[in-house]
Amino acid sequence: MTGTGVVSKLASDPRHFQIFSLSCLVALQMFWADFGPSLVVALLAVGGCLFFQIVFSKLFSVRLDLRSPLISGLSLSILLKASALWLYPAAALITVGSKFLIRFRGKHVFNPTNIAIVVLVLLFPHIAWVSPGQWGQAAWMVFLLCCCGLLVLYQIPRRDMGPMFLLMWAGVLFGRALWLGDPLVIPFHQLQSGALLIFCFFMISDPKTIPDRFIGRVIFGALVAAVAYYIQFKMFRTDGLLIALALVSAFTPLVDLLLPGQGYNWGDRIHKHTQPKEVPICALSTP
């Protein structure tokens, strides 16, 4: 395969763009942020996800693909904070195991990274937590541009979910500020969270775990926002979005049953964009 062919093949799959942007983010966090992941943490999270993906692929006799666990491991490196290193391999095991063991009609029920973080912060609240993800305006803007670029460059099916939820959550934050008479700089500051961007563009927008129909995704996003509001502002937990997503995701199979739509696999999009376009018969030149 030529160099151009390799580049074209890499560019055809949005997961490569996700891996690149998340890798840059982990590197920035590691070397320039005060509370970024250490090299050991990144190796345990990423290496653990890759290792368990190999193990489960062999156990279930499925084709090995390391792109999804790599994305999951990088996300774990950024979002999960723990004072005990063994929690990172444990998170990797839950992440990959949930993909293989918790399914309904061949579809993941939970976002793998999300359910791993939620299980650990609830079971071990004193040694596992989630960083609010205040990264500074410059890093936040760069990552926001990367997320928007992902949507523009790749016509990912169901790409409406991430921006739609971001608008819903912004409405919740600004509505609360107006209701309480707070300065609007407060919701602006709350939105400038890298963790929120990862949540919107890499977690709740996962086409493998959200409802198949658009109206189902609207209901799904509204429920996540409502539950997250209660957890974050009534129970005073900073991980309200993650817990809300895990709770509402349990009802995704029911939403798909009531509002059925076409399922999605990453390969569908790649296949669609790598197939030669059909030429209408009327457009063919005649001898």
Range of weakest confidence among 27-36, 94-103, 150-159, 190-199: 150-159
Half-sphere exposure of 187 (CA within 13 A, CB side): 20
**Mean pLDDT on 20-28:** 81
* Mean pLDDT in residue range 167-183: 95
Query: What is Dmax (Cα atoms) for the chain?
Result: 78
pLDDT, tens only, 273-283 = 444 444 444 44
Task: Say which amino acid occupies 51.
Answer: F
Q: 187-205, pLDDT tens digit by residue?
A: 988 887 777 878 887 788 8
Is the full-model pTM beyond 0.85? no
Torsion region of 277: left, alpha or beta (phi above 0 gives left; psi -120 to 50 gives alpha): beta
Could you tell me which residue, 42 or 136, shows the higher pLDDT? 42
CA 117 – CA 121 distance, rounded (Å): 6
Contact between 245 and 225 under an 8 Å Cβ cutoff? The reply is no
d(CA 72, CA 75): 5
- Strand duo 80-82 + 107-108: pairing: unpaired
249 to 208, 253, 278: CA distances (angstroms)? 11, 8, 39
